[in-house]
Structure 1
Amino acid sequence: MRRVIACLIAVLLANPALADGAAALDRFYAETHTLSGRFTQTVSDANGTASERSEGEFAISRPGRFSWDYRQPYEQHIVADGAHLWIYEPDLDQVTVRPMDADTADAPGLLLAGATFPRELFEVVAQGNGWLRLTPLKKDSGLSEVRLKLVGVGIEELQLDDGLGQTTRIQLLDQQRNGALSAKRFQFTPPPGVDVIGALPQARLPLAE
């Protein structure tokens, strides 16, 4: 779920438009080139009882690059460098890598991390008070509904329903828009000795002797 959420945010913040009636999103995409800040995340069951809380930092550089770093209660680092998606779990000494490619990524990870235009994948409805509802057009997307809250030209909150009664609420805090971000935040090299799942990019393969 964590990687799906991060990928969703990456696409939402990297695309130039969503759908008719979402003029505020159009403005946000047109005026936002980079974004960084903190986030809090809460996962609740069908009864509204919170089962998981986490927090961390994020940075986004359009198009298609982001870092999503969970700090508490345990670490996980998700980095999209524009070509590949990296998920590093220090507690497991494990890195997963896959191309950000429509032919090889799975849904909904593919949809949310890639460059596919969301209009073809979501029905978008304005609900008032800054909220938008996004309903996946594909029944097997892994998400039944996504809700966004817009304040001014920014996205303040996301709520994701997974279709199994679980809701994930993400609040984006201390946002810095269009600030300078180091390119290193969107690069990742597996630490020595970790297990790597997936094919490493050619540039990262060891040279033959």
Structure 2
Amino acid sequence: MRRIIVMAMAVCLLAGPCLVSAEEPADPQERKEIQDIVKRLQARYEKTKDLQADFTQKTTIEGFERPMLSTGKVYIKKPGRLRWNYLDPSTEDIYVNRDDVKVYVPEHKQVLVGKLTQMAASRAPLELLQGAAKLEESFVVEPTPGKAKGLGGLRLLTLLPKGEGHETVRSLQRIVIEVFPKTYFIRTISLHEHSGNVSYFEFSSLQDNVGLGDEVFEPKFPADVEVVKAPVLSQP
């Protein structure tokens, strides 16, 4: 399950801009603040060629009392390269090269291979990875309800999927984003699904434009690993 969550959001960390101007909120000051955050966030990621970071993931599943906790590292490079390594409590490596996906599960000695457009619930992550779309027709950005703010007093942004027939709308209710106040890199992302499940990601130790080589994104598997075709979750 966690690999699907990654495909649904991890690329927002790098490949933006994934935000659009908000619809008219009631408070002009709120409107000005979120428009400024969106502008700075998009400008930051437009200048980002590659990025690496540590992450902590907390996933709350509807009907389960305890959340699932995971930690690891993520590496992203434009266009279309992603390496997402879960390190604790179990190891799992996800590699994306444009539309090709490989998921290595050492515990099972298996590699799942498939297409991102078939394994993910939306085409949006692929488009973001390739830098091919701004998602101007997919999301509306609004100030997050309530008085909670992020670091530095910056408002949290809520992304609302647009379009009743869009794949993202059927799975995600909203996405909440917090940015770092000085760099305007994304600090946290919360995915709220219609099912009631919530996945929270916090990023730290971000390093951008360090010149990540393609070899970082080339998987190396044991010779005896079993290659399995990944199931198709959604047709593009």
TM-score, scaled to structure 2: 0.73
Structure 1, unaligned stretches of length 5 or more?
200-209
More strand per residue: 1
* Distance (Å, rounded) in 2 between the aligned partners of 1:136 and 1:17: 11
- In the TM superposition, residue 15 of structure 1 has moved relative to its aligned partner by 3.0
| Match in the other structure for 2:210 | 179
- In the TM superposition, residue 72 of structure 1 has moved relative to its aligned partner by 0.3
Distance 1:24 1:126, change over 3 A: farther
| Match in the other structure for 2:10 | 9
Question: What's the Cα RMSD here?
Answer: 2.5
- More divergent stretch after superposition (35-44 vs 71-80): 35-44
Cα contact 1:88–1:94 (8 A) shared by 2 = yes
Cα contact 1:148–1:158 (8 A) shared by 2 = yes
Q: Deviations over 1:116-168 (max 9, x none)?
A: 63223222224472422112233654222111111132100011112222211
| Match in the other structure for 1:124 | 141
Cα contact 1:43–1:50 (8 A) shared by 2 = no
- The percentage of counterpart residues that share the same residue type is 26
| Match in the other structure for 1:133 | 158
* Distance (Å, rounded) in 2 between the aligned partners of 1:160 and 1:50: 17
Cα contact 1:81–1:187 (8 A) shared by 2 = no
* Distance (Å, rounded) in 2 between the aligned partners of 1:98 and 1:42: 26
**Displaced runs of 4 or more, over 6 A:** none
- In the TM superposition, residue 193 of structure 1 has moved relative to its aligned partner by 2.2
Q: Describe the SS at the equivalent of 2:136.
A: helix
Distance 1:145 1:25, change over 3 A: same
Cα contact 1:108–1:143 (8 A) shared by 2 = no
Q: Deviations over 1:23-66 (max 9, x none)?
A: 12211222222111211111124699542111011111122111
Which of 124, 147, 155 is equivalent to 1:111? 124
Cα contact 1:39–1:173 (8 A) shared by 2 = yes
* Alignment length (residue pairs): 196
Which of 51, 58, 61 is equivalent to 2:77? 61
More helix per residue: 2
Look up the equivalent residue of 2:124 and give its one-letter code.
L
Which of 58, 75, 90 is equivalent to 1:74? 90
TM-score, scaled to structure 1: 0.81
| Match in the other structure for 1:150 | 179
| Match in the other structure for 1:202 | none
Distance 1:145 1:16, change over 3 A: closer
